Amino acid sequence: MKGVIFNVLEEMVEEHCGMAVWNEILNEDLSGDGIYTAGESYPDEQLFSLVEAVCARTKLPMEKVVGDFVEFLFAQLAARHPVFLENPTDLKSFLKSIDSVIHVEVRKLYDNPNLPEFEYDEPDPDILVMHYRSPRKLCVLAEGLIRGAAAHYKTSVEISHPICMHKGADRCDLHVRFLP
């Protein structure tokens, strides 16, 4: 995982709980040294360990912390890289540009970013099916980023996840229904 993701987790914890809580989490967490450089790569397990420590410290369930973090992550990444949001004028166009435009640009910014792959189907004008593939199986991160993008574009969506790698499939299908 790129250090920028760790940096955003730190920002979220400091914003919602204060710097002292983040420092306490780092002191309790033995998976890393607590210094994360945005462009460097770190083991995914270090991030998972920090998120578990945030859950323990805040007494919030994992689903809540991860959901809040990923939506916060989208907003922070959008603020750091606003150019990615300039061209797509709506949520569906943005989502369809992830693999062919955004990930291409991310590869220019970061060495070996280890990104997922997406393919798309549109069975109906108000439905986009995103086929997610990644050996890391971070589909929950993809779902949260979709929710963050929906908030950014002020678009109401329903997301379902009927096919999942965590249930033995070779990919995850994220069905995004655009609501009126």
Q: What is the CATH number of domain 3-80?
A: 3.90.1520.10
Q: What would be the CATH architecture of the domain defined by 87-178? A: Alpha-Beta Complex (3.90)
**pLDDT at site 113:** 78
Residue-wise pLDDT for 17-70, tens only, equals 999 999 999 888 656 677 899 888 898 889 999 999 999 999 999 888 988 898
Instruction: Give the full edge-to-edge strand order of the sheet including 127-133.
Output: 117-124, 127-133, 172-178, 157-163
**pLDDT at site 29:** 61
The residues spanned by each domain of the chain are 3-80, 87-178
pTM comes to 0.82
pLDDT of 129 over the 80 cut: yes
**pLDDT at site 30:** 59
Residue-wise pLDDT for 89-105, tens only, equals 899 999 999 988 888 87
C-alpha torsion sign, points 87, 171, 143, 75 = negative
Is there a shared CATH topology between the 3-80 domain and the 87-178 domain?
A: yes
Structure tokens at 135: 């050996």
